[in-house]
């Protein structure tokens, strides 16, 4: 286990020989050796892995039952030196004069506990009840093997007290397929990692159903779920087994094995127990399960201690860390996501507009990404309401930093969308306000200048002197003032800007409704591109695509003599990094040093150095804490995804909180090269 709450799990699929426990024990040891080399914490074998699941009436034969005990002893003995993690193998075992289908937990030369199968399928191709007894019929709660008294029963949880009490629950094949699986009860009593020793046969489309079953159970239980299935070594009298191994975490598929392999294999993944614990604490209804009667009621579980060795906390993970967690990587998923978000935005805005029914709806259009998306949503909302677009009052308000590209795109877009608009040059208004305040922008006195001459003078200001917050805020607030006096104002700012505080208080920070409020910048770009390719025809499509290709800028500072515009990302950092930081901080409460570790697991380190990633993470943390006062008084807007900063919904935070502890946490992760496994 790494120090970041990751546990490496493996689902083994051995190529066994039916009714040959000695051979199967040898294959088991080989896979244990492989798992050990990969620093695995928990290794799971299929159902009845030391005999095979399809032995049928051979399970009654003394030779097989005696042989499997000898082979189990070999595995237990070898585990003392071969594999330090926790391993589960499947065996038939006589207890109370009945044969039980069991999962045996082994660690460091000792059997920690034995869990019998609860539910026995006895329909269609399954005849489990012919050979085995259900767990409920057992009288004993322990078994004596080789002089050791071993806990036996379905009330066992394997818990590591040294590692935040991580719990492991076990069920066997059919246990998962019933209405209330044992793993549900195990989860609400402290199992974070659920294991299934299975021998599920293959039929057409069954793999899809099985996959969904595992994913749904991991989501319902807010747990990791490791499913190890019997492979092609099982009998094919009437059944075929494909070795369909799966590892899921809270509804997401981390790894899936290839079916119908002819060689033994192990499927690996690192599951994040820290994230699972955070999710359970956040969703208070999870713990309510113990309050109710039936299978979800309070039960007495025996907690069996187990231990895990610490791995190098900077090693490479056996899981993919998405560098763009807000943006689906699969094209079809991205298309579906964009369409759904656009519909959510539109539906929310329609509901607010039909309630208020304003005579005019005002929106500022700059030619940038955010205002473009908001304008597209507004037009669709008007179409759904059956309102004429003449009720839209669109303003484009060029200032001292406006480029010809964005100005032209804003104007063309409004024309082609048939949206009435006005162009208001805010420079004279800003000039008069600065003169009234006695403010000299960049140290330039205003007395000897006109608006036009001042604009020309700005071109000669050295880049290092282009730093004037009053100059920027005056323009931003003038624009908002004009909008507020023009109608019901539609906001355009996005989630990423709110997280960073990259907005002017009571300027672009304020509106009467904001459809973009919970959409991160990385997703805004994809939404505009999606709209261009799916919702609009030429020439609107070309305009939208050019807006997507334009550098992100507030365009409040003047362009230099080469025409270079003010760059947002050069000032506050790359949005793809900030959105990554925001997602993990908000979605899972992840510590800064773990966020940094996860960022290094992505392809970011090929684009940004570790020093750059750390630098921008520090910037993010400082800005996130320092700008909560802006988020504490946000206007309404729809929650779109799992991360939102609305003070009425997802995020309540004191505006005076200090970022010191978070920055100190990040400082505890020194920059060193990542180790490859």
pLDDT digits (tens, 9 = 90+) for 397-421: 999 999 999 999 999 999 999 999 9
Are 261 and 231 spatial neighbours (Cβ–Cβ below 8 Å)? yes
Of 309 and 569, the structure prediction assigns the larger pLDDT to 569
Helix (H, G, I), strand (E, B) or coil at 104: strand
d(CA 142, CA 95): 9
Write out pLDDT tens, residues 452-479. Answer: 999 888 888 888 888 899 999 999 999 9
Q: Find the helix or strand (DSSP H, E) in which 149 lies.
A: strand 148-151
Dihedral angle, C-alpha 187, 189, 190, 191, nearest 10 °: -40
Indicate whether 316 belongs to any domain: no
Neighbouring C-alpha atoms within 13 Å toward the C-beta of 119: 17
- Provide mean pLDDT across the span 106-111: 97
d(CA 323, CA 305): 37
* Same-domain pairing of 557 and 587: no
d(CA 363, CA 377): 11
Task: Find the range with the poorest average confidence among 56-60, 218-222, 603-607, 637-641.
Answer: 603-607
Predicted pLDDT of residue 264: 97
**CB contact set of 653 (below 8 Å; sequence gap of 6+):** 628, 631, 632
Residue 151 phi, psi (nearest 5):
-60, 135
Predicted pLDDT of residue 75: 98
Last residue of a domain, one of 568, 588, 622: 568
Task: Find the range with the poorest average confidence among 84-98, 172-186, 274-288, 424-438.
Answer: 274-288
Residue 26 phi, psi (nearest 5):
-65, -40
Around Cβ 370, how many Cβ atoms within 10 Å?
Answer: 24
* Same-domain pairing of 210 and 351: no
d(CA 363, CA 359): 14
Write out pLDDT tens, residues 425-447. Answer: 999 999 999 999 999 999 999 99
Extract the runs of DSSP E, i.e. beta strands, from 40-109: 42-44, 86-95, 98-107
- Provide mean pLDDT across the span 149-163: 92
Residue 317 has pLDDT above 80, yes or no: yes
Last residue of a domain, one of 290, 305, 320: 305
pLDDT band at 298 (very low <50, low <70, confident <90, very high): low
Indicate whether 127 belongs to any domain: yes
pLDDT cut 90: percent of the chain above it: 87
pLDDT cut 70: percent of the chain above it: 96
Of 164 and 304, the structure prediction assigns the larger pLDDT to 304
Residue 299 has pLDDT above 80, yes or no: no
Full DSSP string of 34-47 = HHHHTT-SEEEPPT
Predicted pLDDT of residue 163: 58
Predicted pLDDT of residue 565: 81
Full DSSP string of 250-301 = TTEEEEEPPTT-SS-EEEEEEEEHHHHHHHHHH-TTTGGGGGSSGGGS----
Indicate whether 324 belongs to any domain: no
Predicted pLDDT of residue 315: 81
Task: Find the range with the poorest average confidence among 117-126, 204-213, 460-469, 611-620.
Answer: 460-469
* Same-domain pairing of 463 and 590: no
d(CA 403, CA 455): 13
Strand partners, 489: 362
Residue 114 has pLDDT above 50, yes or no: yes
Are 226 and 42 spatial neighbours (Cβ–Cβ below 8 Å)? yes
Helix (H, G, I), strand (E, B) or coil at 146: coil
* Same-domain pairing of 243 and 377: no
Strand partners, 247: 226, 255
Write out pLDDT tens, residues 32-65. Answer: 999 999 999 999 999 999 999 999 999 999 999 9
- Provide mean pLDDT across the span 602-619: 92
406 lies in which domain range? Answer: 331-568
* Same-domain pairing of 512 and 631: no
Output the CA torsion sign for 90, 8, 29, 108. Answer: negative
Of 161 and 514, the structure prediction assigns the larger pLDDT to 514
d(CA 255, CA 267): 7
- Provide mean pLDDT across the span 349-365: 98
* Same-domain pairing of 131 and 233: yes
| CB environment 539-562: b (16+ within 10 A), e (fewer) | ebbebbebbbebbbbbbbbbbbee
| CATH number assigned to the domain comprising residue 373 | 3.40.50.620
Q: State how many domains the chain has.
A: 3
Predicted pLDDT of residue 311: 73
Q: Could you tell me whether strands 42-44 and 86-95 are parallel, antiparallel, or unpaired per DSSP bridges?
A: parallel
Tokens matching residue 331: 């094209």
Residue 502 phi, psi (nearest 5):
-85, 65
pLDDT band at 675 (very low <50, low <70, confident <90, very high): very low
* Same-domain pairing of 227 and 358: no
Residue 296 has pLDDT above 60, yes or no: no
* Same-domain pairing of 244 and 275: yes
Residue 563 has pLDDT above 70, yes or no: no
Are 230 and 264 spatial neighbours (Cβ–Cβ below 8 Å)? no
Indicate whether 145 belongs to any domain: no
Write out pLDDT tens, residues 120-140. Answer: 999 999 999 999 999 999 999
Cα 577-649-344 angle, rounded to 5 deg: 75
pLDDT band at 26 (very low <50, low <70, confident <90, very high): very high
d(CA 392, CA 546): 24
Cα 86-283-209 angle, rounded to 5 deg: 60
Indicate whether 121 belongs to any domain: yes
Predicted pLDDT of residue 604: 84
* Same-domain pairing of 666 and 598: yes
Predicted pLDDT of residue 677: 34
Tokens matching residue 417: 């969308």
Query: What's the pTM?
Result: 0.93
Are 388 and 378 spatial neighbours (Cβ–Cβ below 8 Å)? no
Indicate whether 143 belongs to any domain: no
Of 455 and 495, the structure prediction assigns the larger pLDDT to 495
Active site residues: 47, 117, 173
Are 629 and 654 spatial neighbours (Cβ–Cβ below 8 Å)? no
Predicted pLDDT of residue 293: 42
Predicted pLDDT of residue 1: 56
* Same-domain pairing of 128 and 170: yes
| CATH number assigned to the domain comprising residue 279 | 3.60.110.10
Indicate whether 190 belongs to any domain: yes
pLDDT band at 676 (very low <50, low <70, confident <90, very high): very low
**pLDDT, mean over the chain:** 94
**CB contact set of 637 (below 8 Å; sequence gap of 6+):** 348, 491, 513, 514, 515, 516, 517, 518, 646
Classify burial at 641, counting beta carbons within 10 Å of its beta carbon; exposed 0-12, middle 13-18, buried 19 or more.
middle
* Same-domain pairing of 593 and 624: yes
Predicted pLDDT of residue 347: 98
* Same-domain pairing of 547 and 626: no
Last residue of a domain, one of 516, 541, 568: 568
Indicate whether 535 belongs to any domain: yes
């Amino acid at each position: 286990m790494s120090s970041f709450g990751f546990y490496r799990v493996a689902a083994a699929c051995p190529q066994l020989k039916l009714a040959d426990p000695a051979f199967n024990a040898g294959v088991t040891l080989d896979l244990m050796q492989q798992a050990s080399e990969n620093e695995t914490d928990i290794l799971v074998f299929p159902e009845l892995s030391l005999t095979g699941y399809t032995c049928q009436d051979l399970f009654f034969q003394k030779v097989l039952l005696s042989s499997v005990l000898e082979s189990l002893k070999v595995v237990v003995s070898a585990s003392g030196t071969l594999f330090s993690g926790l391993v589960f193998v499947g065996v038939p075992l006589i207890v109370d004069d009945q044969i039980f289908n069991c999962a045996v937990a082994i660690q460091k030369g000792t059997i920690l506990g034995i869990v019998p199968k609860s539910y026995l399928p006895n329909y269609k191709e399954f005849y489990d009840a012919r050979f085995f007894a259900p767990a409920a019929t057992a009288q004993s709660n322990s078994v004596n093997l080789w002089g050791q008294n071993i806990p036996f029963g379905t009330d066992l949880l394997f818990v590591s007290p040294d590692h935040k009490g991580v719990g492991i629950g076990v069920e066997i094949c059919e246990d998962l397929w019933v209405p209330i699986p044992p793993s549900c009860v195990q989860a609400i009593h402290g199992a974070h990692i659920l294991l299934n020793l299975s021998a599920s046969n293959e039929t057409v489309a069954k793999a899809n159903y099985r996959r969904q079953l595992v994913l749904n159970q991991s989501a319902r239980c807010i747990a990791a779920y490791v499913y190890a299935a019997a492979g092609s070594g099982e009998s094919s009298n009437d059944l075929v087994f494909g070795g369909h191994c799966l590892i899921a975490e809270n509804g997401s598929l981390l790894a899936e094995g290839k079916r119908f392999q002819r060689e033994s294999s192990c499927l690996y993944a690192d599951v994040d127990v820290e994230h699972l614990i955070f999710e359970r604490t956040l969703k208070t209804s999870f713990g309510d399960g113990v309050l109710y009667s039936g299978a979800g009621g309070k039960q007495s579980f025996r907690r069996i201690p187990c231990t895990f060795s610490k791995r190098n906390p900077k090693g490479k993970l056996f899981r993919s860390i998405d560098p763009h967690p807000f943006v689906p990587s699969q094209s079809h998923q991205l298309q579906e996501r964009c369409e759904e978000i656009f519909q959510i935005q539109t539906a929310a805005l329609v509901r607010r507009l039909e309630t208020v029914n304003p005579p005019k709806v005002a929106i500022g259009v700059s030619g940038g990404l955010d205002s473009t998306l908001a304008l597209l949503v507004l037009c669709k909302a008007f179409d759904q309401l059956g309102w004429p677009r003449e009720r839209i009052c669109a303003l484009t308000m060029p200032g001292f930093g406006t480029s010809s590209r964005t100005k032209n795109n804003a104007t063309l877009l409004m024309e082609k969308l048939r949206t009435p608009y006005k162009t208001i040059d805010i420079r004279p208004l800003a000039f008069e306000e600065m003169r009234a305040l006695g403010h000299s922008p960049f140290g330039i006195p205003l007395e000897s200048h006109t608006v036009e001459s001042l604009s020309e003078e700005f071109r000669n200001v050295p880049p290092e002197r282009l730093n004037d917050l009053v100059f920027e805020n005056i323009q931003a607030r003038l624009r908002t003032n004009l909008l507020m006096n023009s109608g019901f104002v539609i906001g355009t700012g996005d989630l990423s800007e709110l997280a960073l505080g990259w907005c002017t208080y009571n300027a672009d920070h304020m509106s009467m409704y904001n459809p973009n409020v919970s959409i991160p910048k990385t997703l805004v770009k994809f939404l505009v591109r999606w709209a261009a390719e799916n919702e609009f025809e030429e020439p609107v499509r070309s305009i939208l695509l050019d807006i997507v290709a334009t550098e992100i800028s507030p365009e409040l500072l003047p362009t230099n003599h080469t025409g270079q515009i003010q760059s947002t990302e050069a000032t506050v950092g790359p949005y793809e990094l900030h959105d990554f930081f925001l997602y993990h901080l908000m979605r899972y409460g992840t510590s800064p040093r773990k966020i940094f570790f996860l960022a290094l697991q992505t392809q970011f380190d090929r684009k940004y150095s570790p020093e750059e990633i750390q630098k921008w993470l520090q910037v993010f943390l400082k800005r996130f804490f320092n700008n909560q006062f802006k988020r504490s008084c946000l206007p309404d807007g729809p929650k779109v995804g799992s991360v939102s900063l609305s003070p009425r919904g997802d995020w309540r935070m004191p505006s005076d909180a200090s970022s010191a502890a978070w920055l100190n946490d990040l400082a505890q992760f020194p920059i060193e090269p990542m180790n490859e496994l």
